[in-house]
Amino acid sequence: MIFATAGHVDHGKTALLQALTGHNADRLPEEKKRGMTIDLGYAYLPLPDGRVVGFVDVPGHEKFLANMLSGLSGMPHALMVVAADDGIMPQTREHLDILLLSGIPQLSIVISKCDLVSPARAEHVAAELQQLLAHSRWAAAPRFIVSSFTGQGMDALRQHLLQQLALPAAQAELRFRLAIDRAFTLGGTGLVVTGTALGGRVAVGDKLWLSGRDTTVRVRSLHVQNASSQQGQAGQRIALNLAGDVEKTQIQRGDWLLSTAAAPSSRISISLQAIAPLKHWQAVHIHHAARHITGRLSLLSRSQLATGEECLAELLLDQPLWLADGDRLILRDASARHTIAGALVLELQPPGRGKRQPQRLAHLHALQQQSLPLADKLQRLASQQAVVLDEFAWANQLHAAALQQLLQHCDGQQVGGRLYASTRWSAMQDTVQEGLTKLHQQQADQLGASRGRLRRLLLPSEPEATVNLLLDQMLLQGRLRQTRGWLHLPGHVLSFTAAEQLQWQQLQTAFTDTTEPRWVRDLATNLAIDESAMRQLLQKAARLGHVVAVVQDRYFSSETMLDMADIIRRLCDVQGHADAASFRTQLGCGRKLAIQILEFYDRSGFTRRLGDKHVLRENLLFSRLTVSTDPLVDAETGRPA
């Protein structure tokens, strides 16, 4: 267990820790010379049962508030120290605000320097503090009146702290996450980094990812709570001796050691709690764990916020942060002189549009409920949008096994590492059906649409694997049908009109009497039909499967195309491939036409080209149902060739 101190400068925080542990937490020469804490300090108290109590001593001066904030990450308990002679001071109030906004669950009040005042004065200061905390979650916080000089009250405080040593078991089951606040090199040991573990467990030999360097390092040895150990966990102060391609100069305060590599966030959704007036698009300083950056505040439901109010907002970060859902942030003003708000992280990847819609805001309000079970949270997210499961696992710091167990309690469709709620999946199927209905009405002379076209028109933001599974299920359900590769509604049938049927009967003999290709212009001249009308007639005949265009306006009968496919198959059986010369010899046609036909089969997916050779695709079978009838469409993707 580890405790943090807080309080105004010169209120006796360092002296208190020295009285508790016997160690002076001030480690810098300047601190010892000035008698004032400047940076984070640490003191430890070994117990007879082998446990070690740790303390983080933070600066009290307002100039070093950034250092104070770096020492609060992962703290389950804080000691608010107020000198009996001075009483409540400006930094007392600001530190209390910070502790509240940081979400630290437990607080103990320590009235120090009681040897310098009368008992009545010490009780008066304690009463003032109780009044200050009356409307906070710490209204019943225990109070201790002590003197670090005489030892008065120290035994009672020490016994109280020893009763608070339970480590956060739930946090230990999460992924390992530690924010680095110090890095140094020891002779004979090498690189050492320190920090408080916010989640998970770590052991000697583990491989961790270092965020600032974007590299993997190995844990060579560990010190937990200032003692050598084989493993550490959330809620403990840990020093890690690292092995890897990294040097001390490449590590900054605020870098992370993580169990797995992860992407940082540059824009996040937050629940905002103001302790000073705020306005939309205000520049702010942002403190998270041991990192300090700047950014902009975007209010979602109003243009300004009064002191004491809460609202939903987004933070646009000038530098990316490695965050998780439920993390706490402290916001200070543009000059970094005043603490103005606290924030609770709700989302790491908010959508770019519709952020102020009522449904969207209601969704964020639901995420504000920290008691919301993870299964309900996942189900709610999946009903709003596709949930990328890896991203959800990271945001909630879940191991793979924990995620799989969670998915057993969620109703939905998984595909390509994404989860869709059943209601959203059904809505997507309805979108396809409604879209095809409109398409049939607008293009009655079209048989249907390819998979690629349906995805581009109706579900452009969804991955190809998602759309393919959706369409396959609709085909099995009978909600869609597929004819020669085109998807359409069951009731939609493409056929010639009476006039077109008469024209086709005249035209059909031009294809049945020969295996030669026919040009649109020649057929129009021979039958005395307008060229545009002939082109439309042949395009419809192609969609009906009667003819195939190998290039624009040049058609073969479908039977001839199948026969030529057999020739290619035989050539591949004999010589392992087809080429323009051998194919031309078999057909008895010109080289240009042979190349056009071979390129058509490449586009259709029957063959693929390797240099001047064309080989059969191992994973596709050519059939009468899969030949593309459009020379400008790739039959494999449905996209323009």
pLDDT score for 23: 81
Token pair, residue 91, equals 């930094």
pLDDT in tens, 283-320: 999 999 999 999 999 999 899 999 999 999 999 999 99
Considering only 203-207, 241-245, 615-619, which range has the smallest mean pLDDT?
Answer: 615-619
pLDDT in tens, 471-516: 999 999 999 999 878 899 998 777 777 888 888 888 888 888 677 8
pLDDT band at 618 (very low <50, low <70, confident <90, very high): low
Mean pLDDT for 330-351 is 92
Please say if the pLDDT value at position 632 is more than 90.
Answer: no
Please say if the pLDDT value at position 459 is more than 70.
Answer: yes
To the question of domain 2-162 being in CATH 3.30.710.10, the answer is no
C-alpha dihedral sign at 78, 83, 84, 88: negative
Token pair, residue 63, equals 């100039």
Please say if the pLDDT value at position 462 is more than 90.
Answer: yes
pLDDT score for 503: 87
Please say if the pLDDT value at position 638 is more than 70.
Answer: no
Considering only 462-476, 482-496, 618-632, which range has the smallest mean pLDDT?
Answer: 618-632
pLDDT band at 634 (very low <50, low <70, confident <90, very high): very low
Q: What is the mean pLDDT of the chain?
A: 88
Q: CATH for 170-258, among 2.40.30.10, 1.10.10.10, 2.40.50.140, 3.40.190.10?
A: 2.40.30.10
pLDDT score for 63: 72
Percentage, residues of the chain above pLDDT 70 = 94
Distance CA 301, CA 360 (A): 11
Please say if the pLDDT value at position 423 is more than 50.
Answer: yes
Q: Where are the domains of the chain?
A: 2-162, 170-258, 273-370, 422-488, 498-616
Distance CA 183, CA 256 (A): 12
pLDDT band at 28 (very low <50, low <70, confident <90, very high): low
pLDDT score for 35: 63
Do 233 and 202 meet the contact criterion of CB atoms below 8 Å apart?
Answer: yes
CATH number of 422-488: 1.10.10.10
Q: Which residue did the predictor score with more confidence, 438 or 632?
A: 438
Q: Do domains 2-162 and 170-258 have the same CATH topology?
A: no
Q: Kindly report the backbone phi and psi dihedral angles of residue 598, in degrees, each rounded to the nearest multiple of 5, phi listed first.
A: -60, -40
pLDDT score for 614: 95
Give the type of residue at 55.
F
pTM for this one? 0.77
pLDDT score for 238: 94
Mean pLDDT for 339-363 is 90
Do 92 and 84 meet the contact criterion of CB atoms below 8 Å apart?
Answer: no
pLDDT score for 218: 97
pLDDT score for 29: 66
Q: Which residue did the predictor score with more confidence, 627 or 77?
A: 77
Please say if the pLDDT value at position 396 is more than 50.
Answer: yes
Q: Which residue did the predictor score with more confidence, 168 or 601?
A: 601
pLDDT in tens, 524-557: 998 888 999 999 889 888 878 889 999 999 999 9
Burial class (CB in 10 A: 0-12, 13-18, 19+), 54: buried
- Please list, in sequence order, all residues whose beta carbon lies within 8 angstroms of the beta carbon of residue 192, skipping any fewer than 6 positions away: 183, 184, 185, 186, 239, 240, 241, 242
Which helix (H) or strand (E) covers residue 603, if one does? helix 591-604
pLDDT band at 627 (very low <50, low <70, confident <90, very high): very low
SS3 per-residue string spanning 384-423 = HCCEEHHHHHHHCCCCHHHHHHHHCCCCEEEECCEEEEHH
The topology under which CATH files domain 498-616 is Arc Repressor Mutant, subunit A (1.10.10)
Considering only 78-92, 326-340, 368-382, which range has the smallest mean pLDDT?
Answer: 368-382
Please say if the pLDDT value at position 583 is more than 60.
Answer: yes
Assigned architecture for domain 273-370:
Beta Barrel (2.40)
pLDDT score for 637: 35
Please say if the pLDDT value at position 401 is more than 90.
Answer: yes
The SS3 of residue 324 is: coil
Percentage, residues of the chain above pLDDT 90 = 59
Token pair, residue 319, equals 């530098």
pLDDT score for 226: 87
Q: How many CA atoms lie within 13 A of 404 on its CB side?
A: 3
